[in-house]
Amino acid sequence: MNASPVDQISFQNPFVDELRGETSGNKGSRQVPGYCYSLVQPTPVESPHLLAWSEEMGDFLGLAKPTERGPAVDALAGNLVTASMKPFAARYGGHQFGNWAGQLGDGRAISLGQAVAVDGSRWEIQLKGAGPTPYSRRADGRAVLRSSLREFLCSEAMHHLGVPTTRALSLVGTGDEVVRDMFYNGNAQAEPGAIVARVAPTFIRFGNFQLMTAQGEIDNLRALADYTLRHHYPELGPPSPETYLRWFEEVSRRTAVMIAHWMTVGFVHGVMNTDNMSILGLTVDYGPYGWLEPYDPDWTPNTTDFGSRRYAFGQQPRVALWNLMALAQALTPLVPDAQALRSGLNEYASTLASTQHTLLLRKLGLTPLMPDEDRALTEALPQALSEPEIDMTLFFRQLSHLAPALMAAPDNEAALFQELIAAAAYSAAPNEDRNLLQWLRQYATRLRQEAASGEETRTTMLAANPKYVLRNYLAQQAIEAAQTGDLTALETLMHVLKTPFDEHPDHAALAAKRPDWARDKPGSATLSCSS
């Protein structure tokens, strides 16, 4: 199949064609009752130019990589709307930090329509930072290079880690400046503007359904649910009360799989509002995210959440369940017995436990030989990692390399453990690692019961434990360089994060522990919802 420029492909528009939408084109911020979306044109930017392109996503969509400037980049910046595009902003609501926020909607994202991939599947292309929409409230609908680069990089990094996620296609500089107050502390600054084209089968969220029910728009609720079933869950059968229940179970299952992946790679989303939860169980809306460096279940990168730590790493499984309960409440008008939705919540709990356990066994090089002992081993690990402030990514990677030696029952086992802890710990206190040493001894004993050879186990573990993740300080370094026009750091990160399980000896510095200078640096440690 020959690749085509994005400005020359034919877009499909089922969301617009099949659901009720507002067609006035008025970009003014306002309430939009009775509709699923608003048609809205992107606002042109001064000087669009390509900064980054996902080769993998482009190839999958059958799209040719654009030159730095030209019609394709104009389309990815919102300056060119082709005849087959029907740009729209979706209307939804949501709970933000546990409080109902009413109408929210796509305040700085505009979907162009669906592109048909090489396998015949359809993928929505959405421009984030494309200008104001009726849902922009008091904002300008724009995005800065800082947040756009973070979303572009992390979307692709998560995909290559095997985490369910939305994708990114392109990062385009706008030539305009955007004023942002990064930490909401009165220090607003002008920053370079950018637009990221992100991609998913759909960007429908829990909040789309919540708003319909909250506003009593049951016809729209049913229409949206039926649309979602037809286009994204056709295997469940035609819409009916029984199908709605099976659908909620499947949404719950997918959400559990996503959360299990987050917890086993050390990812912290940072702002798990219900409007940031994908109906497909995909990671969506990369804002103040981060990766655990010192293992701390109470850590959040989001300064807005420092008071309650509602969205801290260790709270993510509980919050996802809370969000699913909110979705279940929104779906009650579609089923005769609201209690029947509890089966979906039970599915979430069981799937989360089984998936997280399976992923951890793989990371530890274990097969399910001894269910009770293995469960105790995986459940004891978080506490063991917390006390010496272990870097989770480094710990599992180093453990992978250590596996053959441990399986050989060496006389210097204790020294190997100390070497591992020294390589992965941020804490310098040697007496605080007693739980971890005890855990490592139990693990080594269990590992020796495996039938595989040491080298086979090492290979399996290296394929499950990445050497490279998108640490915040690495993203911040790429941002600072890109703001001066230097894209080298961005391109290097893109290259390495495509194959995060490989060694990449020339780029080993990107796998190092977070340096001391990044501990408290804005953007490298802490971010906000404006990030």
Q: Which residues are catalytic?
A: 275
Find out whether 241 and 222 touch, Cβ atoms under 8 Å: no
Q: At what angle do helices 371-386 and 434-447 cross, to 10 degrees?
A: 150
275/251 Cα distance (integer angstroms): 15
Structure tokens belonging to residue 228: 């979602």
Q: Which residues pair with 205 in a beta bridge?
A: 278
Find out whether 413 and 403 touch, Cβ atoms under 8 Å: no
Q: Which of 129, 523, 139, 150 is nearest to 302 (CA)?
A: 523
Per-residue CA distances from 163 to 242, 300, 359, 365, 471 (Å): 30, 19, 12, 19, 16
255/271 Cα distance (integer angstroms): 15
Query: At residue 46, what are phi and psi to the nearest 5 degrees?
Result: -70, -50
529/276 Cα distance (integer angstroms): 12
| 1: helix, strand or coil | coil
Burial of 506 (0-12, 13-18, 19+ CB in 10 A): exposed
449/313 Cα distance (integer angstroms): 32
| 471: helix, strand or coil | coil
Buried b (16+ CB within 10 A) or exposed e, 53-92: bbeebbebbbbbebeeeebbbbbbbbbbbbeebbbbbbbb
Structure tokens belonging to residue 262: 């987050």
Structure tokens belonging to residue 208: 């789309």
Helices (H), 117-239: 145-161, 206-214, 218-232
| 526: helix, strand or coil | strand
506/170 Cα distance (integer angstroms): 26
416/407 Cα distance (integer angstroms): 12
Q: Which residues pair with 126 in a beta bridge?
A: 111, 198
Per-residue CA distances from 474 to 301, 469, 479 (Å): 15, 9, 9
Q: Which of 179, 168, 162, 192 is nearest to 285 (CA)?
A: 168
CA contacts within 13 A on the Cβ side of 466: 25
Residue 371, H or E segment: helix 371-386
